Amino acid sequence: MILIVSRDARSSIDAIYNWVTKPIGPLRPQDVEHYSIDPIDPIEIYRIVKLELDRLDSMTGGRPYAIIDITGGRKVMSAAAAMAAWQLKLDLSYVEGEYDPDTRQTTPGSDRMIVLNDPNTLFGEQELARALELFRAGSFEAARRRYDEICDSIEVPGRARFMRALSEMYRAWCDLDLRALPAAAIAVRGALGHARRDLTTTHLAVLTGQLDFVQRLIDGDRNAKLLCFYVLGLHYQELDRHDFATLLFYRTIEGCLTARLTQRYPRLNPDRFDWAFLDDPAGARQRYAALTRRLGRRGGTPTPNRLALMTSAVLLAAEGDEMVARCALADVQGLTRLQELARKRNKSVLAHGFEAVSGEQASALHKQATDLLRAYWDLHGDGDGVDSLYKRLRFVRPDR
């Protein structure tokens, strides 16, 4: 037992000592320690309790169970002791009894001991705040694990369950884990109803729209995939993860070019290119070859086997396509600029090289991806503009 008393109440030490030590009490004299402190210094109580816990740790080889009792005494000391208990994750006790107004004493026999557990096990506010920091930083898998632990440790886990489900959905979305995404979306839908009071109207509307978008991804919608690449690219760019952002912007550019070709020539197979599926196969082949030579891309016959980024861009430019014309990619100068962007990306560690991508390079690919996606969306989009859609698809960052 550790007695912590104010310096003007030292006589209480003798009274307590006489009751808790043998022959009356269960403790030996050596089992009782006491400290006198300044009652208005909350740090003193914390320091003493932590010191004793650390000492007992070294003696027993493990932290013992400890409880702080705050019955009676000065209010400031009780408050400081409660703060110390919660900071050190100790239980807190208080002896309650019926108060007799005539004697101004507790009625004998009415005493009962109340134990308050660590508030983190009741409400989990501090742990929820730590998990939210991970979530807001985009560390969705780490946040999911933290929320999973919180769900098992607090009495009211509704908010933690919702954030666990949302963390997993965002994790699967970021990883393009289409196998895990359906179950994750179902879990968010199931938890959303219980979390409505913790969400703003705006966040609720955004999440409902995102669930609809995720379902389009699951169903394999091509336009949804293009938007997904772009949204994830911006997400990683905000986190200064330029290699990942560049990879996703590259996929956006390539996807827009390929999708535009298959929109113009529906029978065209991107993985098995065949001139026969173009409107003027012989003329298209000649125009493609001429533009390829002007770009300095010699080295073999200019016949693509599949539709890659530059192949698609050159084909569209050779055919005088409206979409690439809107993005200044219809001439040699524009295609050369795009080719240089593609080369820099191909040297990155997530492509075919070992070079780190700079923020400037990521921004250049971002601009090209934005221009192409806007042009593609004007021609083949299915809803609002790209900027408006991005605002609704951007990962929510709750304040609590």
What pLDDT score was predicted for residue 22? Answer: 81
pLDDT at position 109 is: 84
pLDDT at 40: 79
Q: Provide the pLDDT for residue 72.
A: 76
Assign 116 to helix, strand or coil: strand
Instruction: List, in sequence order, every residue forming a beta bridge with 113; answer none if it has no partner.
Output: 95
Q: What is the CATH code for 2-119?
A: 3.40.50
pLDDT at residue 320 tops 90: yes
Greater confidence (216 vs 79) lies with 216
d(CA 84, CA 66): 12
Instruction: Give the range among 46-50, 195-199, 260-264 with minimum mean pLDDT.
Output: 195-199
pLDDT in tens, 117-154: 665 555 567 788 889 999 999 999 999 999 998 888 77
Residue-level pLDDT at 82:
86
Asked if 140 and 169 count as a contact pair (C-beta separation under 8 A), the reply is no
Percent of residues, the chain, with pLDDT higher than 90: 54
Query: Of the given ranges (162-171, 253-262, 307-316, 349-358), which has the lowest mean pLDDT?
Result: 349-358
Question: Cβ-count burial of 28 within 10 angstroms (0-12 exposed, 13-18 middle, 19+ buried)?
Answer: exposed
pLDDT at 299: 45
Residues 286, 388: contact at Cβ < 8 Å?
no
pLDDT at 108 exceeding the cut of 50: yes
**Of 391, 386, 388, nearest in space to 370 by CA:** 386
Residues 240-256: tens digit of each pLDDT = 999 999 999 999 999 99
The token pair at 89 is 């994750």
Q: What are phi and psi for residue 283, nearest 5 degrees?
A: -65, -40
